[in-house]
């Protein structure tokens, strides 16, 4: 049975319950169709937003407090500029894969305000501060 048929069947059962309240005496029964629609909408929005550090990472980041340190710039379109080297990045929950002509590296990401930490598995961590 398809999703729309299931919802129609459910709404038909709801209509019968409203006409004959002895079938389903619960007060929320009158609103189950609406509640189901809202729940599905919230779920879809949650799925679309899951693991979305993409908004957090976009912008320029400096590798340390030193004003002369290398700048990493992440674009909305998945591009990254590391110093003068161009590459691409892919986000997956709290991980980022950065691919340049010289290397492919996967990092664990952590954000705290204007601070970002990229940590290689079993390796060093890179500490960044957002450039304003």
Name the token pair of 49: 């937003």
Q: Where in the chain is the domain with CATH 2.40.128.280?
A: 54-130
| Residue 96 near residue 109, CB atoms below 8 Å | yes
The average pLDDT across 52-63 equals 82
Residues 99-115: pLDDT tens digits?
999 999 999 999 999 99
Q: Identify the CATH class of 54-130.
A: mainly beta
Q: Strand, helix or coil at 100?
A: coil
Return the pLDDT at 123.
86
Residues 58-102: pLDDT tens digits?
999 999 877 789 999 999 999 999 999 999 999 998 999 999 999
Query: Which residue, chain included where needed, has tokens 């949650």?
Result: 46
The average pLDDT across 26-37 equals 55
């Amino acid at each position: 049975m398809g999703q729309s048929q299931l919802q129609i069947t459910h709404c038909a059962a709801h209509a019968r319950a409203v006409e004959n309240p002895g079938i389903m005496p619960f007060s929320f029964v009158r609103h189950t169709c609406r509640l189901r629609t809202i729940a599905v909408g919230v779920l879809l929005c949650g799925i679309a937003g899951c693991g979305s550090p993409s908004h957090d990472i976009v912008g320029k980041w400096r590798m340390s407090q030193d004003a002369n340190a290398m700048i990493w710039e992440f674009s909305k379109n998945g591009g990254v500029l590391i110093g003068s080297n161009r590459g691409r990045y892919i986000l997956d929950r709290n991980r980022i894969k950065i691919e340049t002509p010289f290397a492919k590296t996967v990092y664990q990401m952590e954000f705290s305000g204007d601070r970002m930490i990229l940590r290689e598995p079993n390796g060093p961590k890179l500490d960044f501060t957002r450039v304003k």
